[in-house]
Structure 1
Amino acid sequence: METNQQYVNWFRHSAPYINAHRGRTFVIYLPGEALANANFAHTIHDINLLNSLGVKLVLVHGSRPQIETAATKADLETKFHNGLRITDLEQLTLVQATVGRQAMQLEARFSMGLANSPMQGSRIRTSRGNFITARPIGIKNGVDFSYTGEVRRVDAEAIGKQLNDGNLVLISCLGYSPTGETFNLAAAQVAGRVAASLQADKLIVFGADKGITNSRGEQVIELLTRAGHRLVHQHQSSGDSWSDLSMHIDVLSKACDAGVARGHLLSYQEDGALLSELFSRDGSGTMVIKESYEQVRNACIDDVGGILQLIRPLEDDGILVRRSRELLESEIHYFSVIERDGAIIGCAALYPFDDARQGELACMAIDSSYRGGDRGQILLKHIEKQSSHMGLQTLFVLTTASSHWFIENGFVSAVLEELPTSRQSLYNFQRNSLVFSKQLL
């Protein structure tokens, strides 16, 4: 019963996302490894669901492991440079045959309509064509890439017509030149260029990993493009070989800089990763964007409920002083919040003492699901900026559990007598809070 209720609640809360995604254009990149994975059937079912909900879909598929298998059977040596296959004429013939089989297998998958399956009644129409104009990479650093190429132009108008007709567009790693030649392209880079040319609402890249993790092994929920470029540069500077993850970060960051609204990096091994990413607040992978869609702003009366829900666990643990709804409503103009997709995930209050040119930082909290990032620092900078605008010279805080964090962020130990006289009289000796202060520049 509980499981059923959880499903009902999830389905209800997915309604805003369903409405938001309808009629939008998503470009999905599936590497060859995803097509060979045991979870592939579920991924197809989830793509079918997006189609059923009115999402315009372009699916770019890779074929690297399938090409490797075919090359091994044909006793052909394969060479790579900077993550790109060096494609001679003999290998190009093999690539064409392998990619063609992959495309037909995908069409067969989308044509399924078995009763008692997620594909029943789907009736997906697929479309393929010469949408990608390519050119040879040529010789770089003394390496002749032969028939390995790069995207020269994307026929966005033709793809758009197919999408408007309700077709799911399939695009492979093959591109064609005005001289009639065929080139083998990096499918991930094709996906990025297609998404940018269409000004797609989303570019969704499937990889082996569940998004990106930081140095502490924690998953990165959101990555700004400038941070993505920095990660790629660090990887290249280290002299390590070009990894799939680096290429995916590079493709997503460039696409978002070129106008794609949001990029997503998901695991093709995780069942339901696509649905979780698109129809829940926190998703399942890493989202790449040019600018953060989390907003730091002054609080309003409508935020009271969200703030209470955020701070209640900390009040129960004795970390924060308990506040009633009535008190919070009367003091809401002192508060600032971090809002993410309509939810309050962070808050802090600034109480000014104008006569002493000091301000108290109080009731600072970050949702437990979003700790470990830099949201606390972002909120602190917002409060410091407000303090400076008010002409305050010192910011002070009373804490029982977060002294190290405040010290790491520029606060120094202080004594009660340094606080404004009116604040000293309100000090709770039972809580025995430590006092820290920070001089504002």
Structure 2
Amino acid sequence: MTKDDLYRETACVRIKKGTGRSLKAGSAWIYDNEIDTITGEYENGDLVRAEDFDGYPLGHGFINLQSRLAVRMLSRKRDAIINDDFIEMRVRNAWEYRKATVDTSSCRIIFGEADFLPGIVVDKFSDVLVVESLALGIDRLKPVILEKLMAVLSEDHIHIRGIYERSDARVRLQEGMERFKGFIGEPFDTKVEITENGVRYLVDVEDGQKTGFFLDQKYNRLAIQELCRRIKPKRVLDCFTHTGSFALNAGLAGSGQVLGVDASQLAVAQAEENARLNGLENRVHFQCADVFDLLPKLEQEGQTFDVVILDPPAFTKSRNSIKNAVKGYREINLRGLKLVKDGGYLATCSCSHFMDPELFTKTIREAAGSVHKRLRQIEYRTQAADHPILWAADESYYLKFYIFQVVDEK
């Protein structure tokens, strides 16, 4: 496919009267059941113009009728010209935003719809980029996006030694694409050392979860580090520890003994490696176990902790399973609260955008009531600013993070 073919618009999508409310409010999507007519020739993945029922221009995006998200918008301007210069503008804006808001040594540079490049994520881990492409149209633009990003970074004298693709999520199948992971360009060592909040990590960009490391919790981990530095807890429990990030922040802050728990032996091995990297292996330990099984066992043994951290995976990725997710969040918070000493601290979060802030708050409140604990809120936080929350794009607001002091009812 030539550059001319890449940017050519030969079709127009017109939506039904009375539809497109979310799009007009700022969303980037036209759903398949909102389309009235399509005029002109096109293939899935092509750029198209979008119009309201009466012909009013709605902007430009790429089409894929295999997906429920039939059109993903790149621009809402009628006179926008989608070309190399347009892609460079989007990429440059994304990087300038990160420079203004976060530590860019390791950060998410492009966050899909929130950076107006729907369906693509690019993470920077020190001198390595990891790209995840989830939509057919953006997949075609991926080489241009990466080319422009490399050029923009080089202007700030940032050397990138390699790019790895982690487009292996199941959602690609819904777009009619195969799952893929592998090098873009020359191979390199996929174990990448980064430093975040003073903690060193080895990030496995090839086999780690998602793109290798969860950058969205960066400043929430720092909040735990600062809390532990102030209170100097004797015992800390970090549940769903993944590669040990919250546990290591607690350990670096001077906590006495820290236990991190994860059901993945690979994650535990990586966490232990990270503990050694930071010289914390004598105080920060890890155990491979199912958290739902382990917490009742710790309670039966009469164990308690000064700080308990709950960072579970998303218990729901669709609206259809919210009820079961609520049960999971209530259970894990109930069990965690029982293990917190009177006057101790609970950090708890949800990374599912379907578990909205109100429902998550209600679930925690119910769990606390069930075990006769009173919660004194210290902080409420969301994801780091390199994962921006775009108002009107509800899916971009997904991470909810609380820190409470836990007090027994007396």
Q: Do the two structures share a fold, i.e. TM-score over 0.5?
A: no
Structure (1/2) with the larger helix percentage: 1
Structure (1/2) with the larger strand percentage: 2
- TM-score of the two chains, using structure 1 as the length reference: 0.25
Give the structure with higher Rg (CA): 1
